[in-house]
A and B are shown apart, each in its own frame.
Chain A
Amino acid sequence: MRTTETPASVLGELTQALAAKRLRIVDLSQTLAPGFPQIVLPPEFDQCAPFRMEVISHYDERGPDVYWNNISFGEHFGTHFDAPIHWITGRDLPHASTDTLLESSFIAPACVVDCSADAARDADSLLTAARLREWEERYGRIPPGAWLLMRTDWSKRSDPVAYQNFNEAGQHSPGPDVSAVEFLVHERHVIGFGSETIGTDAGQAAHFRPPYPCHSIMHGNGRFGLQCLSNLDLLPPTGALIIAAPLKILRGSGSPVRALALVERTARHYSSGAR
């Protein structure tokens, strides 16, 4: 019986499953590149630095046998992890900065809610608690400690102007409303919320009551955020395992991550028609 085997064999089985490609690894990360857009704050504020790369040497007079770069970026650039101290509501929580997060925070299962049709119809569309309950009727209750990932196919917007989607009224991108965040935090006890857009909150979330619920409520309750994810269309509604460990930055509020998902080969995913 498998259940009586030692933990070592669990890893052995995992290794075998990966080798036999019964488990596939899905890369959920955007490429760190200078052209990828960064979050926009009002211009009078200090800004989140975009990704920049300067060559140290490239097999040239600066180092004939070496190619390497200096890179720079804000903690919240590209596919990245939000730690609770990112928001003022989470500032006094334990295990809430990138250097003090519990290791158990880095690997967790995911529930993926497909909102791509809504997002295609309306850039300001919101994920609600009602919609989550509807999803649960179909795929089962969201387990405590799971990531709730909102699939919008926003990551397929390769033009940064379309990805940012600004007009005179600000940014227009989908996200959760207050009811969804309250439900996920207090009734389902998720580990965090993940999105394909530039932030976990909707583009217009500054006007919500309270503003930025996916930051203020999530982080105020010690939960995390993942944003600028990609390839969520390759994940099943349930059953994927997310590996997302931020850099261990002293008192860091977040960090770019190489976010990965382990998916069972047999799992049905949304794009194969299993809705």
Chain B
Amino acid sequence: MTTDALKRPPPRNPILPLRLPTLPPGSRSRAALHLTAAVAEGRFELQKCHDCGQIQYPPRDACTACLSVRLVWQPISGEGELISDTVLHHSNELYYRHLVPLRLGLVRLKENVTVLSLLHKECPAATAPVRLRAHLDKAGQATFIALPTIDTPNLADDRILREMTSDPKFRKVLITDANSATGHALCKALVDAGADTIWAGVAEPWKVRPGFSSIADLPKVTVVPLDLTDNRSVQDLAGSVGAKVDILINNAEFHRSSGISDRPGTETARAEMEINYLGMMRLAQSFGPAMRARAADSSVPSTAWVNILSIYALSSLPSQGTFCASKAAALSLSQTLRAEMRHAGIRVVNVFPGPIDDEWTQLIPPPKLPPAALAKAVVKALQDGVEDIYPGDVAQDLFKKWRESAKALEREMWGQ
């Protein structure tokens, strides 16, 4: 059975009431949250006993074979076999009521663990080899879906997979600052990804960059005024397109390079906070409620909110101290945003790039992340349905070090 290619969805029938968002059951044990955490970062891991080597699922506090508490998280390939399958026709869970009939099955992984999994439409009938993937569901918790072993043309268009991801295809996207290197690249990448409409925000239109017209002239792109420092500007745009935005990509940032005591005054730091921190808050207040309300829209539901943060939100680069502080503030704010958006199942994606190759990182030696690579990573994160990404070598390296020892990394950053 093949998946039909997604067609451009018709507009919502205005005489039918809006479908309200519901969530699958979201409670997990503390041990199970580790599985969710790995999936949120794009990894599939299960517990492995350090003492007897057993891999187990569901996650527990001790090994079910030898009672050892020395459990480590082990990457899982997902290779397995569908050993049985069935179709669920009824559920008392509100969330599943609109998804039934729903294919379910038991998958035995090659690690000899059996899990209950949703089945992709193209997943063959039991018994058959499958690929098991872990995804975040609408509740933001890890869940499994079994896929056929080879990719097919419209694999991503499966309705269950689309519940767990935020593929930009046919979706309406707001990019909060199109008048920047990252904004240019994001506009192009989202056109290529098949977005239905791209609203390209521009603050201070008298300062448009050379080459901006090549973005403004792209099909699907509409330039809109948006200044995140101005509450009224944010409200005005929300008033005109807020009820249509399916994916909001907040890439607006103010970036200057100075420590905190080598540049007099606080005006630049304030300007960074105005956009990087308070700007996100203004967006959340103006766009958040409408996006939450439309999260189960029968046509194209609103689905994701992306924040372009910085790897330096985790550990300050002293030569850019004020910028890092504003991004750390934004990271903290985004965690609250995620908690507030989760009731509707809107995914908040945080992007932690290293230095982006733009005019504000001139003296930072390579490797620097090209804006196009950032944009590509954002689109992929939406397609994959992950929550946190660390695109580029520098981000990957610093993230690894941060996980190993945030304290050691703090010292190491002094020399950067």
Q: Do A and B come from one complex?
A: yes
Residues of B within 8 A of A35 (CB): 230, 233
| A40 B230 Cβ-Cβ under 8 A | no
B403 within 8 A of A: no
Contact status B229-A52, CB under 8 Å = yes
Whether A239 is near chain B, meaning CB under 8 Å from some CB there, is: no
Binds A, one of B139-147, B149-157, B205-213: B205-213
B233 touching A164 by the CB < 8 A rule? no
A44 part of interface (Cβ distance < 8 Å) = yes
Are the C-beta atoms of B206 and A161 separated by less than 8 Å?
yes
Q: Does chain A have a CB within 8 A of B369?
A: no
Q: A49 vs B265: C-alpha distance in the bound complex, in angstroms?
A: 14
- The answer, yes or no, to whether A53 is at the interface (CB within 8 Å) is yes
Enumerate chain B residues within 8 angstroms of A53, measured Cβ to Cβ.
231-232
Q: Helix, strand, loop or mixed for chain B's interface?
A: helix
Residue A210 at the chain B interface, CB threshold 8 Å? no
Residues of chain A within 8 A (CB-CB) of B231 are 52-54
Report chain B residues within 8 Å CB of A52.
Answer: 229-231
What CA separation (Å) do A52 and B205 show in the bound complex? 17
Determine if A40 and B206 form an interchain contact, defined as CB atoms under 8 angstroms apart.
Answer: yes
Q: Report the Cα distance A52→B274, complex, angstroms.
A: 11
B267:A161 contact, CB within 8 angstroms: no
A-contact 0/1 string along B190-218, CB 8 Å cutoff: 00000000000000111100100000000
B residues in contact with A160, CB < 8 Å: 205-206
In contact, B206 and A164 (Cβ under 8 angstroms): yes
Q: Which residues of B contact A44 (CB under 8 A)?
A: 256
Q: Interface code A39-50, partner B: CB below 8 Å = 1, 0 otherwise?
A: 010001011011
In the bound complex, how far is the Cα of B229 from the Cα of A164, in angstroms? 19
| CB-based contact B206/A34 at 8 Å | no
Chain A residues lying within 8 Å of B204, measured Cβ to Cβ, are 37
Interface centre among B206, B227, B267, B271 (most CB of A within 10 A): B206
Q: Are B267 and A34 in contact (CB under 8 A)?
A: no
B268 at the interface (CB under 8 A from A): yes
Task: Determine if A34 and B232 form an interchain contact, defined as CB atoms under 8 angstroms apart.
Answer: yes
Selected contact of A47 from candidates B210, B230, B232, B271, CB within 8 Å: B271
A-facing residues in B222-276 (Cβ within 8 Å): 227, 229-233, 256, 265, 267-268, 271
Q: Separation in Å of the A40 CB from the closest CB of chain B?
A: 7
Q: Does B268 lie within 8 Å of A46, measured CB to CB?
A: yes
Q: Once bound together, how far apart are the Cα atoms of A50 and B233, in whole Å? A: 13
A65 in contact (CB, < 8 A): no
Contacts of B227 in A (CB 8 A): 34
In the complex, residue of chain B having the shortest beta-carbon distance to the beta carbon of A40: B207
B205 proximity list for chain A (CB < 8 A): 160-161
Contacts between chains A and B (CB distance < 8 A), count: 36
Please determine whether B207 and A166 come into contact, CB atoms closer than 8 angstroms.
Answer: yes
CB distance B267 to A46 under 8 Å? yes
- Quote the shortest CB–CB distance from A157 to chain B (angstroms): 11
| A34 with B230: CB separation less than 8 A | yes
B268 to chain A, nearest CB (A): 6
- Tell me, rounded to whole Å, the shortest Cβ–Cβ distance linking A78 to chain B: 15
Q: Please, which residues of chain B bring their CB within 8 A of the CB of A49?
A: 267
A52 to B233, CA, bound (A): 10
A61 on the interface (CB 8 Å rule)?
Answer: no
CA distance A166 to B207 in the complex (A): 8
Give the chain A neighbours of B268 by CB distance below 8 A: 46
Residues of the B chain whose Cβ atoms lie less than 8 Å from the Cβ of A161: 205-206
Set B206, B230, B232: member contacting A166, Cβ < 8 A: B206
**Distance in Å from the Cβ of A16 to the closest Cβ of chain B?**
42
A168 interface contact, C-beta 8 A: yes
Chain A 19-39 interface 0/1 with B at a Cβ cutoff of 8 Å (1 = within)? 000000000000000110100
Residues of chain B contacted by A168 (CB below 8 angstroms): 210
- What A residues does B230 contact at CB under 8 A? 34-35, 50, 52
CA distance A160 to B202 in the complex (A): 13
Give A111-170 interface residues, CB cut-off 8 Å to B: 160-161, 163-166, 168
For the complex, give the distance between the alpha carbons of A47 and B256 in Å: 12
Nearest A residue to B229 via CB reads: A52
Give A46 to B232 CA distance when docked, in angstroms: 23
Distance of A160 Cα from B230 Cα, bound (Å): 16
By a CB distance below 8 angstroms, the chain B residues around A166 are 206-207
Residue of B229, B230, B265 with highest tally of chain A CB at under 10 A: B230
Residue of A nearest to B206 (CB): A164
- Minimal Cβ-Cβ distance residue in A for B268: A46
B325 to chain A, nearest CB (A): 17
- Encoded as 1 (CB less than 8 Å from any A CB) or 0, chain B from 373 to 385 comes to 0000000000000
The answer to whether B210 touches A34, judged by C-beta atoms less than 8 angstroms apart, is no
Instruction: Name the distance in Å between B181's Cβ and chain A's nearest Cβ.
Output: 13
Q: Do A47 and B207 touch across chains, with their CB atoms under 8 A apart?
A: no
Shortest Cβ distance from residue A244 to the other chain B in the assembled complex, whole angstroms:
26
Assembly CA distance A53 to B265 (angstroms): 22
- B270-288 contacts to A, CB under 8 A, are 271
Partner of B206, one of A37, A46, A47: A37
Given contacts A34-B227, A52-B229, A52-B231, 9 further A-B pairs with CB under 8 A are A40-B206, A46-B268, A46-B271, A49-B267, A50-B229, A53-B231, A53-B232, A160-B206, A164-B206
A-B contact pairs, 13 of them (CB 8 A): A34-B233, A37-B206, A40-B206, A40-B207, A46-B265, A46-B267, A47-B267, A47-B271, A50-B229, A50-B230, A161-B205, A165-B206, A168-B210
Q: Which 3 A-B pairs have the closest CB atoms?
A: A164-B206, A46-B267, A34-B230
Q: List residues of B whose CB falls within 8 A of some A CB.
A: 204-207, 210, 227, 229-233, 256, 265, 267-268, 271
